[in-house]
Structure 1
Amino acid sequence: MSQRPAVAGSFGRFKAALGDSPPLLWSFLYFFCLLTGYYVLRPVREAMGASSDVAALFPPSMIAFFAERGVALKDLQLQVLFTCTFLIMLALQPVYGWLVSSWPRRVFLPTVYGFFIATLLLFYVAFDSGMPGRGMAFFLWITVFNLFAVAVFWSFMADVFSDAEARRSYGYIGAAGTVGAILGPTLTRVLVERVGIANLMLVSAAFLMLCVVCLLRLRHYAVQREASRRLASGEVPMGGAVWAGLKLVASEPLLRWLALLCVLGVGVGTLLYNEQAAIVRQFYPDPKAATAYYASIDLAVNGVTLLVQLFVTRALLSRFGIAPALLIPGFAIVLGYAALAASPLPLLVAVVQVMTRSGEFALGKPARETIYTRVAREWRYKAGAAIDTVIYRGGDLTFVWTHKLLAGFGSTAVFGVGLLVACGFTFSAWRVSAEAKKLPDARAPDGG
């Protein structure tokens, strides 16, 4: 009896939010299509990363290079992939910086998605023909796609919504992404046996085309908001240096703490993810049992995330600001890692994994993104993108090798170091919330 009124109340609030903010519906559809398109392909990436077929994953020349030096590429598979991902991110940062500096929003936003759509068509050919090395190319591409496409999305949202609107709307927008994260792998499971992996590229490309439609419809609201509040227009080139994003991160205290928060957040996730794989191999040697274990975690993460986004995120951000949304996940991770250091059992690992991922998706990410509604466009499109791409992958690279060094000392050592990282993550969250209070117009009714 109590559940129906709660659901009805949440739906009523969503309808009211749509009435208060016309661009919410298009933003909702945009993020839904974006994450559906990504999650259609994510299982393909995971299969490539875990594949024992080295010839399908790596180019023949790369396999020969490692073999000549007496190194089995299979033993360093994930480390090599993450290292290459970071190098690609570093190389693409000035390209992206040039694009957003030299072209107006109406050009560079469709261009980013147009590039990803075109490359998906190339991957259709690669998988259809069985091209050697396609696995590594696809693994690197989808990792870049996920970070850049999502970073661009949230930067654009900060053009469309004011701070107060973002606090009311970002929970719902995040929920749309969660629904897409559930639908995407469901489509893959239904379609992959019938149409094959190559045709999944076309399915994802279709969803990205819908994203372009949504962003074109939303551009009007961004222009309208900028004109009414006399903000810098996104309809003219932004200008500035191509490396301005990383320079801003180095010079601005708030951005430095956001970058550290990102790195340490990646750290707790990477250490947990990699050690979880070792524990699962120990307790679930049967592949079917291991698959069921991972599927249960993904289902729980998406379920908890959706519930929090619908019933908690909006109220928390609107009434109390970003501090609780940043600190609650931090404290939960500290408690989780403390428990794992004492007793690293599969069930407890699963519980902490659900807390970590759902806390990030439902609370941490929306809270951080509201900050960008109150800063200059160069902060949003350059510094924010630099944190979400290069710095994010730098953290990933650091901790995937850190886990490799700690793994020989056992799970207790991994989770003990993880506990220290989790404490640093929580402290960084507190510093981000403190620095965000210094932003101009932080207390204005509409976010300024």
Structure 2
Amino acid sequence: MRAALADSPPLWWSLLYFFSLLCGYYVVRPVRDAMGASGDPSTVFPQWLLDLADGAGFALGEYTLQLLFTGTFVTMVVLQPVYGALVARFPRRVFLPVVYLFFIACLVFFFGLFHTGVAGRGGAFFIWTAVFNLFAVTVFWSFMADVFDNQQAKLVYGYIGAGGTIGALVGPGITRLLVEVIGVANLLLVSAGFLAICLLCILKLRPWARRREEQHGETGGEQAMGGSMLAGLKLVWQRPLLRALAITMFFGVGVGTLLYNEQAAIVKQFYPGAEAGTWYYATVDWAVNGVTLLVQVFVTRSLLQRFGVAPALLGPAIAILLGYCLLAASPLPLMVAIVQVVTRSGEFSLAKPARETLYTRVDRESRYKAKAVIDTVVYRGGDLTFVWLHKAIAVLGSSMVFAAGIFVALGMSLGAWGIVRAQRDLPDEGQPDPRPREGL
């Protein structure tokens, strides 16, 4: 099987797909971060909102990230039924291209908006980029579960993830190389070009998805799956595996959000200069991507094939729990950097590929609708909850933030254990979930 897959077109088209997707995202992510960190509120917020806040004596600039995360969550909640209706009423050959064409059209729209200098463009672009990242990536992995069965997924998901990691490394390099040459607005068109490559990959992979479904007797993905637009929410509530995945996602986001926000405060204290802070962040990102790539290429495949998802899920969760215990005792920049590398690289290289293989063993509504709820609404709900929680407890000091984070990491670990237990009741590898849709 290894030799067959190594030479197979679907593996290489999937690699190109994920590379292009993350490369396109990381081309514009620095633009988003710059907008979110802007010291000019008129760049981030529309004028009417600034006037309203001024009249109430409220300084929006002091709550920029909290308000942007809140806006992102609200947007996710509003769009989730729209996405549910799309996947329920249209076959895969329609809704997959429509999702990416929509994002390309948005990039072209923002390209024009950036040239106008209109107030609030930064906040709108920040929120849109977060929505784009989550929806585009969750659609990608849902489609991968159509293309590969569980055994194949264990074999190739590490390599596909490595293609995305390379894209995440190349994207910022393109931005650094071109931003002073072509300007910020034109970078959006570069990103749109990478999304156009994603559309090509979808067309090339469709025959392999159909073949996989025919081999395992599944309902054809080229037909509309039907059901309610809110079916994903019901499925997450009803099925133990999906509930455990949602719990793990919620607390996993909490771990990252608390660490990210407190890291910013610690960096400001120990690296007050812009150059020193940039060096620190760049070093952390370099280490995260380097460790992630090494694990994806040399560890993920063999670990999933030999031992299944349990060690890939529980190992990172336990490491994060121990890391937070150490940070509560010693919140120093070096220790924060080490825990950041462990947290992010463990998630990207082990935990996420392990979770994604499980979607090859469930029905298509769970794969597209429930997964979208978990990856978007639950994800951003975690962001919203813990960004405000950090704001509330940060006044007590870093040690108290990380002490609270211990309980968040414990919740993530318990969620991972719930996934391990629930996945034992799934159908045999490579077989579709035979359970009825329960009136959805």
**TM-score category (smaller protein):** over 0.9
DSSP 3-state at the match of 1:441: coil
- Is 2:385 aligned against 1:419? no
Which residue, out of 114, 119, 131, partners 1:144?
131
Give me the TM-score of the superposition, normalised by structure 1. Answer: 0.95
Question: Does the aligned pair in 1 maintain the 2:251–2:412 contact within 8 Å?
Answer: yes
DSSP 3-state at the match of 1:285: coil
Partner of 2:6: 18
Please, what is the CA RMSD of the aligned residues? Answer: 1.5
**Separation of aligned partners in 2, 1:92 and 1:204:** 22
How far is the alpha carbon of 1:22 from its aligned partner? 3.1
Unaligned ranges ≥5, structure 1: 1-12
**Separation of aligned partners in 1, 2:202 and 2:53:** 44
Percent of counterpart pairs with the same letter? 61
- Is 2:53 aligned against 1:86? no
- Is 2:357 aligned against 1:370? yes
Which residue, out of 90, 103, 121, partners 1:134?
121
**Separation of aligned partners in 2, 1:445 and 1:74:** 52
Partner of 2:160: 173
User: Residues 46-445 of structure 1 correspond to what in structure 2 (within 5 A)?
Assistant: 46-442=33-429
**Separation of aligned partners in 2, 1:305 and 1:17:** 22
DSSP 3-state at the match of 1:35: helix
Question: Does the aligned pair in 2 maintain the 1:14–1:172 contact within 8 Å?
Answer: no
Cα deviation, 1:72-119, whole Å, max 9, x if unaligned, reads 000111110000100000000000000000000000000000000001
**Separation of aligned partners in 1, 2:180 and 2:316:** 38
DSSP 3-state at the match of 1:51: coil
Unaligned ranges ≥5, structure 2: 435-440
DSSP 3-state at the match of 2:219: coil
Question: Does the aligned pair in 2 maintain the 1:164–1:447 contact within 8 Å?
Answer: no
How far is the alpha carbon of 1:17 from its aligned partner? 3.4
**Separation of aligned partners in 2, 1:15 and 1:30:** 21
Question: Does the aligned pair in 2 maintain the 1:112–1:149 contact within 8 Å?
Answer: yes
- The one-letter amino acid paired with 1:366 is P
- The one-letter amino acid paired with 1:18 is A
Would the alpha carbon gap of residues 123 and 284 (structure 1) be closer, same or farther in structure 2, given more than 3 Å must change? Answer: same
Question: Does the aligned pair in 1 maintain the 2:154–2:305 contact within 8 Å?
Answer: yes
Partner of 1:6: none
DSSP 3-state at the match of 2:259: helix
The number of equivalent residue pairs is 434
Question: Does the aligned pair in 1 maintain the 2:83–2:229 contact within 8 Å?
Answer: yes
Would the alpha carbon gap of residues 120 and 366 (structure 1) be closer, same or farther in structure 2, given more than 3 Å must change? Answer: same
After superposing on structure 2, the runs of 4+ consecutive aligned residues of structure 1 that deviate more than 6 Å are 444-448
Cα deviation, 1:49-91, whole Å, max 9, x if unaligned, reads 1110111111101111111111000011111000010000000
How far is the alpha carbon of 1:214 from its aligned partner? 0.2
**Separation of aligned partners in 1, 2:151 and 2:37:** 43
Partner of 1:7: none
Would the alpha carbon gap of residues 312 and 236 (structure 1) be closer, same or farther in structure 2, given more than 3 Å must change? Answer: same
Question: Does the aligned pair in 1 maintain the 2:362–2:433 contact within 8 Å?
Answer: no
**Separation of aligned partners in 1, 2:197 and 2:405:** 40
**Separation of aligned partners in 1, 2:115 and 2:153:** 42
How far is the alpha carbon of 1:44 from its aligned partner? 0.6
How far is the alpha carbon of 1:424 from its aligned partner? 1.6
Which residue, out of 16, 23, 47, partners 1:36?
23
- The one-letter amino acid paired with 1:326 is L
DSSP 3-state at the match of 1:116: helix
DSSP 3-state at the match of 2:186: helix
Would the alpha carbon gap of residues 164 and 447 (structure 1) be closer, same or farther in structure 2, given more than 3 Å must change? Answer: farther
Cα deviation, 1:373-400, whole Å, max 9, x if unaligned, reads 0000000100001000001100110000
**Separation of aligned partners in 1, 2:367 and 2:14:** 17
- The one-letter amino acid paired with 1:386 is V
Question: Does the aligned pair in 2 maintain the 1:26–1:217 contact within 8 Å?
Answer: yes
How far is the alpha carbon of 1:251 from its aligned partner? 0.9
**Separation of aligned partners in 1, 2:110 and 2:129:** 11
How far is the alpha carbon of 1:180 from its aligned partner? 0.2
